[in-house]
Structure 1
């Protein structure tokens, strides 16, 4: 079979990964996928190649299919033309798949979230930023975060599109300060708090004074200084302190106190352009220590030296972590 034929079926396999992960009608997509997979040995071989290469669904491709066609073509052309991704060298390593449309977009999306290019304020992979808003409030964004701003004469609204923010709210008795997520809204009753947009839920952590959290379809809950509340559209639950409730990222570090390695890897992902994969067994290992966010390689080396794990790197774009 020619390389062009392989590329075509590889591209179809990657496309099915995207569809399966982003589908709203899971049953219909699954049936269509099974029909495609049963339609020939080329399809089956391509599916095995793609899954063998990545060993996991392409979770980092979430949302790329929803981008405007102009954005995807532009990102793909820029990535393929870039000197850091020589097509010949990548093919020489058997990794030509990453230069297919979806794979190329995955890497572009890892460098800077393509779905948030038009956000009012945003950060790229490995980037933290602090902004002074029009009212004097101080807004800090963790890596791979994005917000939209809706300030007018009646209210001050920050829409958290992705990632994590901390805000020091400037006093304004005439205009409430509100952070909106996909699950509800957090209204400032004081000065400093953090909001995190997670998959299917949000987390609010209060550093000073208090906030009022109102889910989309539930009753409001007050969160006091030192408390953390995870909420969905129906309501919220107070949670125990953990790395997710800390704001060490403002100082470029993360502190673990007998917490799962999988949680640490999740916190490192916004700081690494390449993909980080951790096996379920390795993810359960408990971790102590303080780790730098701005040098992920150093953190991974430290973990490999002190934990019963192995860290395997496939070029710059994929790192696997598993038990020894």
Structure 2
């Protein structure tokens, strides 16, 4: 999601909060007319919400005091056609918005950046795949890999998301080709049978569930992880994780299992299973979480969090979910 879209969503959240000030309304108008791309991003939200809200929009038209929420009014109303808006929105922008909306919807189901991958999964999908040597990999939701087996190496390139590898020893003891998972930050070579690799933003998480693996990064550092151990790899170093508060491989069983973890980290684990966009405030992201939650029912999981923690959720249909501190918990 680009920065202009993020700003448009932030303005939507502010305007529909029921607590917007006149200063904030004026600031929104300044932002909207500051650049054509701002108006384009706002128009895209109008298009997207008008198609997806349905009856949910009726429920969101009033805030707690019974007043009509400005943000929903603005989003569901036709795009204004004042002289300066016509200048911004003219020249085929409607077609561009429609195209961007369709692309956005597709991307939330299957990342567009992974369409050329050998194997890929969409939102809330997991896939088990048997490799040419009999080994198996399980892909997490919104994940993608390329497979390159040759006479010297068994290579799985993790492009996005996460995988669990169950590696079989080759019957031909003469060949003994290494089994390697390649991420953006380095390589994970199997020295045993079962391990997980997750490609995160700017770093890679590795967790071993059976036997051991050897990590290596381009700068030359290597590190061996044994059963039950985890580590991060980034461009500069390998950092073992001393205390694991969230089971990094729990997704294999379709759950999120946490013990004293921040809500922000829990939501990051939920994102691949939620088709819509989730935004969480910095304050809510710091709330500590305990529990086991099912990935098969992300909406129920969010409701459970509201019921047991000082947070509240605002939703725009199934497309946008905002998590904030509740008024009693703020």
For the aligned pair, the TM-score class normalised by the smaller chain equals 0.7 to 0.9
User: Are positions 1:286 and 2:268 aligned together?
Assistant: no
Q: What is the count of residue pairs matched by the alignment?
A: 265
2:76 paired with 1:93 = yes
The Cα shift of 1:219 comes to 1.8
Match of 1:233 in 2: 235
- 1:20 alignment counterpart: none
Deviation at 1:273, TM superposition (A): 0.7
Instruction: Check the 8 A contact 2:52/2:317 in 1, yes or no.
Output: no
Query: Runs of at least 4 residues of structure 1 off by over 6 A?
Result: 51-54, 83-86, 89-92, 95-98
Q: Give the number of the structure with larger relative contact order, counting CA–CA contacts within 8 Å between residues 6 or more apart.
A: 2
Q: What is the DSSP-based 3-state SS (H/G/I as helix, E as strand, rest coil) of the residue aligned with 2:33?
A: helix
The 3 A distance-change label for structure 1 pair 215 and 51 is: farther
Q: CA RMSD in A?
A: 3.5
Q: Which runs of 5+ in 1 are unaligned?
A: 1-10, 18-38, 55-78
Please give the per-residue CA displacement for 1:211-260, whole angstroms capped at 9, x wherever unaligned. 11110112211111111010112220101343655311111111111110
Measured in 2, the distance between the counterparts of 1:254 and 1:305 equals: 17
TM-score w.r.t. structure 1 length? 0.73
Deviation at 1:129, TM superposition (A): 1.0
SS in 2 for 1:216: coil
Tell me the distance in 1 between the aligned counterparts of 2:52 and 2:188. 42
TM-score (normalizing by structure 2): 0.71
Change beyond 3 A, Cα 1:13–1:161: closer
- Change in Cα spacing, 1:14 to 1:258, as seen in structure 2 (3 Å) is closer
Aligned to 2:266: 264
SS of 2:279's partner is strand
User: Which structure has the larger Rg?
Assistant: 2
**Pick from 287, 298, 301: which aligns with 2:300?**
298
| Corresponding residue for residue 155 of structure 1 | 153
